[in-house]
Amino acid sequence: MPSRPEAAGFFQASYATLPERFFARADLAPVVAPKLIKLNRPLAAELSLDADFWGSDDGVAILAGNVSPKDVQPLALAYAGHQFGQFVPQLGDGRALLIGEAFGRDGSRREIQLKGSGRTRFSRGADGRAALGPVLREYVVSEAMAALGIPTTRALAAVTTGEAVYREQPQPGAIVARVAASHIRIGTFQYFAARGDHEGLKTLADYAIERHYPDAAAKDNPYLALLENVIAAQARLVARWMLVGFIHGVMNTDNMSISGETIDYGPCAFMDSYHPGTVFSSIDAGGRYAYANQPRIAVWNLARLAETLLPLLAGSEDVAVAAAEAALKQFQTAYDGVFHTGLRRKLGLFADYPEDLPLAGGLLEAMSANEADFTLVFRSLAGDLEAPAGEGTTRTLFTRSEDFDEWARRWKERLAREPEHDAGRRAMMLSVNPKYIPRNHRVEEVIRAAVDRSDFSPFEELVAVLAKPFDEQPGMERYTNPPLPDERVLRTFCGT
Ligand code: AMP
Ligand code: MG
């Protein structure tokens, strides 16, 4: 019987107070040789967790799912979901365990889940494990998103298991400890709705309100307020993704968090050269989750959430449907608010003029026609503020530099309409246009070094660089480069 160490500041998840049918109480599935890859010490500190304990053998035993802390029962949560448009009434945590909760400095509850921790009642014949590659990808990309200021689950730690997992080829097994505001997904609501479990649905909605949107409780219609809040949070989130060129890759309803955090980093990637149709995921043959489709898909997913809530919204179905439709219409406004403001900031514009959107659209079009790199172009614009049109460095990022020059003339005219902002403009642009993003070929490189050579130093370096995405970081410039033709990674895999 493994010992049950104390882990100060770590508690049974409050989800365990919900009815038994919300989850499966799970047994641990110990692994042979857990080894810490990385503990996220700053995050541990934010959660008031003792990093020295979590980095010790006792801590690593918990992070590997070999031992649970005293008085804590791990849970696999039940959920359903639309996967690529097809409804699956039961998915659930097939390879993840909710092992507890900690508290952020602001007093908010944060759930800690082990992903890759072994089989559960929801594993559906699969092994319940995760391969090292996807674990490192989740660690790198989720932490990069956090550093960019985008709502996201975090990575508290990654461990290797000392066991092989069998995918196309045997891979080293690993587990990522993920931290989330909660793991309630649109699919969690769908799980109860699909069963006609009205009581369960209401209990879940009440719990989600209390946990994420407590102000909704005081509204005339708390469930409508819940829906409106989730819609607004998702709209803001997806707009933030679009502004940095992030492609989630698997926006199934089970991968959309009610809290509005980015969750489930599978075959995700950042776009290099700008193209609205960009897809990386190997399982997204139809391009359903392509870059430019993401806002539309978010609305589609939110419509599925709205459907589950109809019985709670009003006594009459017509009234409920009208309320849900009105709420869904608010998505566009919330999305546009963040996206348009974000685009203006990226271009260095403080004021709001009607020609700004067409101006931004013109740049994106020129990028698309010239295979220009999304991140480099925006970052480079700040350096061209003083350069006369036809000069500067941004133009060199376009195959036909004249296309940029033509656009730059419009941009300069627009900038001249608010000269009072000249002083703060550069700083604003550099604070919203990142220099360092987790470029897919760099993530792949890190994974190859770890998987093929057990070399984690590239992973360490990439994580460190991405922690300061807006800083210059002399000596690290190679991380800013888009892939050379032979470095290009066209497909990313879930590793499931
Ligand atoms: P994901 O693609 O990670 O969002 O997972 C979709 C569903 O498949 C979830 O219910 C997962 O728990 C389940 N799943 C994915 N990979 C595995 C695995 N290796 N073993 C068991 N279940 C899995
Ligand atoms: Mg998932």
Tell me the per-residue pLDDT of 110-126, one tens digit each, with 9 for 90 and over: 999 999 999 999 999 99
Q: What is the pLDDT of residue 486?
A: 84
Q: Could you give the percent of the chain with pLDDT greater than 90?
A: 93
Cα–Cα distance, 313 to 193 (Å, whole number): 13
70: confidence class by pLDDT, cuts 50, 70, 90: confident
Nearest CA to ligand 1 atom 15: 496
- In ligand 1, which atom is closest to the CA atom of 496? 16
- In ligand 1, which atom is closest to the CA atom of 83? 6
Nearest CA to ligand 1 atom 22: 94
pLDDT in tens, 297-327: 999 999 999 999 999 999 999 999 999 999 9
Ligand in nearest proximity to the CA of 254: 2
Q: What is the pLDDT of residue 8?
A: 86
Is residue 98's pLDDT more than 70? Answer: yes
With both helix axes pointing from N to C terminus, report the angle between 440-453 and 132-147 in degrees, rounded to the nearest 10. 140
Q: How many CB atoms neighbour CB 195 within 10 A? A: 15
Ligand in nearest proximity to the CA of 115: 1
Cα–Cα distance, 139 to 113 (Å, whole number): 13
Is residue 30's pLDDT more than 50? Answer: yes
- In ligand 1, which atom is closest to the CA atom of 120? 21
DSSP 425-444: HHHHHHHHS-S----HHHHH
Nearest CA to ligand 1 atom 6: 91
Give Cα 260 distance to the centre of its chain. Answer: 9
pLDDT in tens, 411-467: 999 999 999 999 999 999 999 999 999 999 999 999 999 999 999 999 999 999 999
Cα–Cα distance, 36 to 457 (Å, whole number): 14
Please work out, in degrees rounded to the nearest 5, the angle formed at the alpha carbon of residue 467 by the alpha carbons of 466 and 473: 70
Spacing, Cα 93 to ligand 1 middle (Å) = 7
Ligand in nearest proximity to the CA of 122: 1
Mutate-to-test residue for ligand 1 from 75, 82, 119, 496, highest number of ligand atoms within 8 A of CB: 496
2: confidence class by pLDDT, cuts 50, 70, 90: low
User: Residue 251 phi/psi, 5° resolution?
Assistant: -80, 50
Domain positions in the chain: 5-183, 187-340
Q: What is the pLDDT of residue 401?
A: 97
Judge contact between 291 and 275, C-beta under 8 A: yes
- All residues with CB under 5 Å from ion ligand 2: 255, 264
Residue 227 token pair: 């829906």
Q: What is the pLDDT of residue 71?
A: 84
Residues marked as catalytic: 254
Nearest CA to ligand 1 atom 18: 128
Spacing, Cα 368 to ligand 2 middle (Å) = 31
Mutate-to-test residue for ligand 1 from 95, 142, 153, highest number of ligand atoms within 8 A of CB: 95
CA 393, 394, 397, 403 torsion-angle sign: negative
Spacing, Cα 126 to ligand 1 middle (Å) = 8
Spacing, Cα 493 to ligand 1 middle (Å) = 13
Spacing, Cα 95 to ligand 1 middle (Å) = 6
* Sequence-ordered list of residues with C-beta below 8 angstroms from that of 191, at least 6 positions apart, any chain: 78, 79, 80, 89, 90, 92
Q: What is the pLDDT of residue 1?
A: 41
Ligand in nearest proximity to the CA of 91: 1
- In ligand 1, which atom is closest to the CA atom of 79? 10
* Sequence-ordered list of residues with C-beta below 8 angstroms from that of 190, at least 6 positions apart, any chain: 79, 80, 81, 82, 87, 89, 253, 304, 305, 308
* Sequence-ordered list of residues with C-beta below 8 angstroms from that of 245, at least 6 positions apart, any chain: 270, 271, 274, 291, 374, 375, 437
Spacing, Cα 83 to ligand 1 middle (Å) = 11
pLDDT in tens, 255-301: 999 999 999 999 999 999 999 999 999 899 899 999 999 999 999 99
Please give the mean pLDDT across all residues of the chain: 96
Cα–Cα distance, 193 to 447 (Å, whole number): 40
DSSP 203-225: HHHHHHHHHH-GGGGGSSSHHHH
CA 33, 39, 44, 50 torsion-angle sign: positive
pLDDT in tens, 6-28: 888 999 999 999 999 999 999 99
Ligand 1 pocket residues where CB is under 6 Å: 91-95, 122-123, 126-129, 250, 255, 264, 266, 494, 496
User: Residue 129 phi/psi, 5° resolution?
Assistant: -110, 170
Judge contact between 247 and 290, C-beta under 8 A: yes
Beta-strand relationship, 154-166 and 23-25: unpaired
Beta-strand relationship, 269-270 and 170-180: unpaired
24-36 exposure pattern, b = at least 16 Cβ within 10 A, e = fewer: bebebeebeebeb
User: Residue 458 phi/psi, 5° resolution?
Assistant: -60, -35
Cα–Cα distance, 333 to 335 (Å, whole number): 5
Q: How many residues does the chain have?
A: 496
The arithmetic mean of pLDDT across residues 82-100, rounded, is 97
Residue 480 token pair: 């800013």
Nearest CA to ligand 1 atom 10: 91
